[in-house]
Amino acid sequence: MGFSSVDYVILIAYLLGITAFGVMFRNTQRSATDYFVGNKNTHWFVICASIVATETSTLTLIGIPAIAYANYQFPEQGGNFAFLQIVFGYIVARFIISVLFIPAYFKGDLQTAYKLLENRFGGSVKNAAASLFMVVRAVGDGVRTFAASIVIAAVLAFSLPDFPQLAVVSILIVGILTLIYTYQGGLIAVLWTDLIQLVIYVSGAVIAAVIVWNAIPGGWEEIRSVASAGNKFEFVSFELDFTVPFTFWAGLIGGTFLTTASHGTDQMLVQRLLACRNESDAKMAIITSGFIILFQFALLLFVGVLLYVFYSHFTLADSSLAAANCLAERKCDGIFPKFIVEQLPTGVAGLMIAALTAAAMSTLSSSLNSLASSSILDFYKPLVNPDADDQKLLKLSRWLTAVWGVILISIAFLSQGVGSVLTFGLSIASLIYGPMLGAFLLGVLTKRANGTGVVVGMVASLISMVLIWNLTPIAWTWYVLIGTCICFSVGYLVSLVIGNGEPAPETEHPSDRSDL
């Protein structure tokens, strides 16, 4: 038991191998378009796997088991399978995206999600939405990069307990290696490395579940008995309490709005849809990914329940990680990495840490590429240098990828000391997704909304959500719904008052079916 030299060899081999694999795609890049949306010849399942890997960061892999592991006396944080209710909303949202957004994205030669808003409302709305995307993506994925450092730091702490600044070293390791292959290989490298990383971390989670199960005295009967006594298998709560994030209503409604925003308006996910060969492939990729996520989250929650049962039999060296009080001290996120490092056999521990690191690298690489794409295609090319040739744009794209890498690594440093990395990351994203989704819905569902109204609606929504976040106990799962409603209603009303100063284009879009 413990992290041995063999485990280090496995981890280092993975880190160097995946970096080298990503760099191999450098020669596939001939232009900025190739760098950001590929050659539109990638199989839909590869893109589906990339969607799953992109939304599954280390934050997910350590945060979800921690939610199920935590003591049920903190129901506002979970403590059972209630988190899975949100995934039902994730699946519903994917069908909505397939109907509302994907047809609109494939009507023109779009390279970013926000070009759709420019075509409908003009440059001001596109710039506002792209700016919001950059803020939420940089902050959110900075937190996710910090989450990855929890894993690497757990390894280093086991072998080098007196080594200073473990979190800093861990952030730099993950950040720099991911930056190298994203800088070189562009989106194609990201898509294929995501596929490999998905296989690695799902396999690792299955192996961990089997090992924990076999280590529990009494097997399934003991698991069922202890977990049932702790209410660990509770699944659905129909309680209508807007301060509790994990209820059926918050999960189905809030999860639907959250995913409609994240997968339908966020450049990081939309970029994958735009890389599909056609509209049909994009729909297959996004819908299939939802059912993979359902399986994956159920597996991770089950791992958390198994850890709860396992540590009810074996004393924790770190008492602050006990299920009864780790949430009070905001340290539950360390329970899965701790088990991996201290309990898994030689070789398996290295594989599992590599799996958790894989999730971090897949999300970070996607974030870097999408941030650079929005910077170039939404701002630099149209506003600074419209006549820039492909080679210049490609070179600048790589350099901006590096700049964003430095920014995200810096945010990761500043994220040390936050509470639950999962809920913090989702809360930050949810604040800004409401204004973004409201703007897109005004674009695809209405004829009378105009650019000025949409910008006013976005600003009103953003201010309102910051106040709600700071001054009310409303759960984060409701943020996107509230923000979307505020943006849509304010934007539409302002548009009616000031008149249609920026008319909708004559080309057909989904709003042609509406009288709004």
> What string of DSSP letters covers 246-258?
SSHHIIIIIHHHH
Q: Which residue has the higher pLDDT, 411 or 290?
A: 290
Looking up tokens 């209630």 gives 82
Please tell me the distance from the alpha carbon of residue 425 to that of residue 62, in angstroms, as a whole number.
Answer: 13
CA distances (Å), origin 290, targets 56, 294, 479 = 12, 6, 21
Please tell me the distance from the alpha carbon of residue 338 to that of residue 316, in angstroms, as a whole number.
Answer: 10
Band of pLDDT at residue 96, cut at 50, 70 and 90: very high
What pLDDT is attached to residue 182?
79
What is the average per-residue pLDDT within 395-404?
87
With 0-12 CB in 10 A as exposed, 13-18 as middle and 19+ as buried, what is 76?
Answer: middle
Q: What angle do CA 83, 89, 93 make, to 5 degrees?
A: 145
Closest C-alpha to 64, from 297, 252, 290, 268: 297
Please tell me the distance from the alpha carbon of residue 12 to that of residue 475, in angstroms, as a whole number.
Answer: 40
Average pLDDT, the chain: 80
Looking up tokens 């937190």 gives 143
What pLDDT is attached to residue 32?
72
Q: Are 83 and 250 in contact (CB under 8 A)?
A: no
Looking up tokens 């953003």 gives 462
Each residue of 438-466: pLDDT tens digit? 999 998 898 889 999 999 999 999 999 98
> How much is the CA Rg of the chain, to the nearest whole Å?
23
What pLDDT is attached to residue 329?
39
Please tell me the distance from the alpha carbon of residue 380 to that of residue 239, in angstroms, as a whole number.
Answer: 49
Torsion, Cα 470 472 473 477, to 10 degrees, reads -80
Band of pLDDT at residue 161, cut at 50, 70 and 90: low
**Statement: residue 317 has pLDDT above 70:** no
- The pTM (predicted TM-score) of the whole model is 0.80
Band of pLDDT at residue 76, cut at 50, 70 and 90: very low
Alpha-carbon dihedral sign for residues 257, 409, 368, 362: negative
Q: What is the largest CA-CA distance in the chain?
A: 71
Please tell me the distance from the alpha carbon of residue 431 to that of residue 12, in angstroms, as a whole number.
Answer: 37
% of the chain surpassing 90 pLDDT: 20
Q: Are 431 and 462 in contact (CB under 8 A)?
A: yes
What is the average per-residue pLDDT within 85-94?
91
Q: What angle do CA 353, 359, 365 make, to 5 degrees?
A: 130
Closest C-alpha to 129, from 400, 442, 399, 367: 442
What is the average per-residue pLDDT within 257-282?
89
Q: Are 235 and 72 in contact (CB under 8 A)?
A: no
Please tell me the distance from the alpha carbon of residue 417 to that of residue 195, in angstroms, as a whole number.
Answer: 32
What pLDDT is attached to residue 14?
83
**Statement: residue 379 has pLDDT above 80:** yes
What is the average per-residue pLDDT within 230-254?
84
Which residues have C-beta within 8 Å of that of residue 84, sequence separation ≥ 6? Answer: 235, 251, 294, 297, 298, 301
**Statement: residue 510 has pLDDT above 50:** no
**Statement: residue 77 has pLDDT above 50:** no
Which of the four CATH numbers 1.20.210.10, 1.20.1730.10, 1.20.120.1200, 3.40.50.1970 does domain 5-416 have?
A: 1.20.1730.10
Please tell me the distance from the alpha carbon of residue 174 to that of residue 409, in angstroms, as a whole number.
Answer: 9
What pLDDT is attached to residue 426?
65
